[in-house]
Amino acid sequence: MNDPGGIPLLPGLAALMADYDGCILDVWGVMHQGGPAYPEALGCLRRLRAAGKRVVFLSNAPRLAWQVERVLNGKGVDPALYDAVVASGDAARRALADPALVPFGGLGARYHLLGPPGSDDVLDGLDYAAADIAEADFLLGIGLDDGRNTVEDHEPILQAAAARDLPMICVNPDLLVIRLGVQEPCAGALAARYEAIGGRVRYYGKPYPDVYELALAKLGLAPSRVLAVGDGLGTDIAGANAAGLDSLLITGGLLADALDLAPGAAPSAHALDEACRAAGARPSAALTTFVW
């Protein structure tokens, strides 16, 4: 599907699906952007299912699959339209639950939460406990703290952690999300800043391999028969590239915001190519929105 002359910008998914038996679908930016699921995306899912295709949602939400599934269902995505959900929280929990997989040669049992109160439930039932920064063994990066709306607001806690050489577990590598048209930083932005001041970070979620292993296991298909779909060049497309999967970029999400495109507008072939070059990631094809 690679086109050396440029990235094909297609009118709909139907042009591709004869070559695939299933899809790994991003959630935010493909199915919704903070509000209800897009009607055209729901229609696309129905056509996929009618064609006998398998579907697994792969989300960088720092939650467990059942929590993401509950949100999807609440936005109008019928469970009959997909086979499974995998979230970055699943990959992090799997690693932190297994001594053989725990990163950094061991973390200790006490973590300091970066994120709203209660958002550390990804570790519920495991042998870890929350602690103040002075007593913590590592940082658990879920998102921004309540009342701290920018990365800069977190600088004192990041500096304190770096001074103690605490490792960070980042459970959402996304730098930002667009919620109903407004950009919001994610845990990945905190992690990037922590690395910049010398902190050690282990990421779970796209584009890292752990979540792709989980998603492919749920699909039960050969990678050559799977199409990964998402709106993030640095996460969805880079992750698919690394996993050896063909990929489809939805240009109406993060890329539209980065290129300041009007709603529904497609980027020029040159702008699309330049954005992909800058990100170091290249999709097999692109759609403006997730339509059949």
Mean pLDDT confidence for 239-256: 94
- What angle, 0 to 180 degrees and rounded to 10, lies between the N-to-C axes of helices 155-163 and 187-196? 50
pLDDT at 180: 67
Per-residue model confidence as pLDDT tens digits over 190-222? 999 999 999 999 999 999 999 999 999 999 999
Per-residue model confidence as pLDDT tens digits over 151-166? 999 999 999 999 999 9
For residue 2, pLDDT over 60 is answered with no
Amino acid at 58: L
pLDDT at 1: 41
For residue 33, pLDDT over 60 is answered with yes
Q: The whole model's pTM is what?
A: 0.92
Question: Using CA atoms, how far apart are residues 183 and 176, in angstroms rounded to an integer?
Answer: 6
> Which of 47, 18, 13 lies closest to 30, judged by CA?
13
Per-residue model confidence as pLDDT tens digits over 88-108? 999 999 999 999 999 999 999
- What percent of the chain is modeled with pLDDT above 90? 86
Mean pLDDT confidence for 71-79: 96
Mean pLDDT confidence for 234-262: 92
> Which of 269, 268, 271, 236 lies closest to 250, judged by CA?
236
